[in-house]
Each structure stands twice: as C-alpha cells, then as structure tokens.
C-alpha cells in the first residue's frame, strides 16, 4: 500500500472530524463552548507544522496542516460572531430592563 494513501485517508478523517466539531460549535447555544486559546494554539501549531512539512518535502502534511489551519480560522471567526451576538442580545435585554436570562 502506498504510504501517501494512508496520509490522505488520515487527512480525510481528521478534516471531517474537525468540520463536524465546528458545525456542532456553531449550532450550540453556548457562545463560550470552546476556548479561544484552542484556536490560537491550533493556528500557531499548524503554521509551524506547515513550515516543517514543506522543509521535509511532505505534500500530504503541507495540505493536511493547511486544512487544519483553515478549520482553526473558521472556528475562531464563528466563535467571535457568536460571542458578539450574545453580547448584543444581553445589552438589548438590559436596555429593555429585562436583565439577564436565568
């Protein structure tokens, strides 16, 4: 079996898993469901792994880590959007004199 085929299969599984997690996070009512530090760490590690993989000449890992970086960026953006929406909703309730929900 070609070793690259195993790498591409692993990439497919990993990116599918990360994509599903981002979708679940987006659908979650809790805007604080995932720490922002997760995305910062994931992005930093991905950039370093992309550089390392390129230096090692591994196309599979350059692509995989580029896709992982993309999932981290998308996750961070979606998390920021949800947190802003939650903050606006709380401000609107407070201005209406309703307070925060229990």
Domains of the chain: 3-95 (1.20.1280.290)
Record the pTM: 0.74
Q: Can you tell me the distance from the alpha carbon of 99 to that of 93, in angstroms, rounded to the nearest whole number?
A: 6
Tens-digit pLDDT string for the chain (102 aa) = 788 899 899 999 999 998 888 888 888 877 666 776 888 889 999 999 999 999 999 999 999 999 999 999 998 898 888 888 888 878 887 888 876 555
Q: Please tell me what DSSP assigns to residue 32.
A: T
**CB-based contact 57:7 (threshold 8 Å):** no
């Amino acid at each position: 079996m070609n070793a690259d085929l195993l790498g591409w299969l692993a990439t497919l599984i990993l990116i599918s898993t990360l994509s599903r997690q981002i979708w679940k996070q987006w659908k979650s009512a809790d805007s604080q469901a995932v720490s922002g530090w997760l995305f910062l760490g994931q992005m930093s590690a991905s950039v370093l792994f992309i550089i390392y993989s390129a230096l090692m000449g591994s196309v599979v890992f350059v692509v995989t880590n580029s896709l992982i970086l993309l999932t981290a960026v998308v996750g961070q953006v979606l998390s920021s959007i949800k947190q802003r929406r939650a903050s606006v909703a709380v401000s609107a309730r407070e201005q209406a004199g309703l307070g925060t929900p229990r």
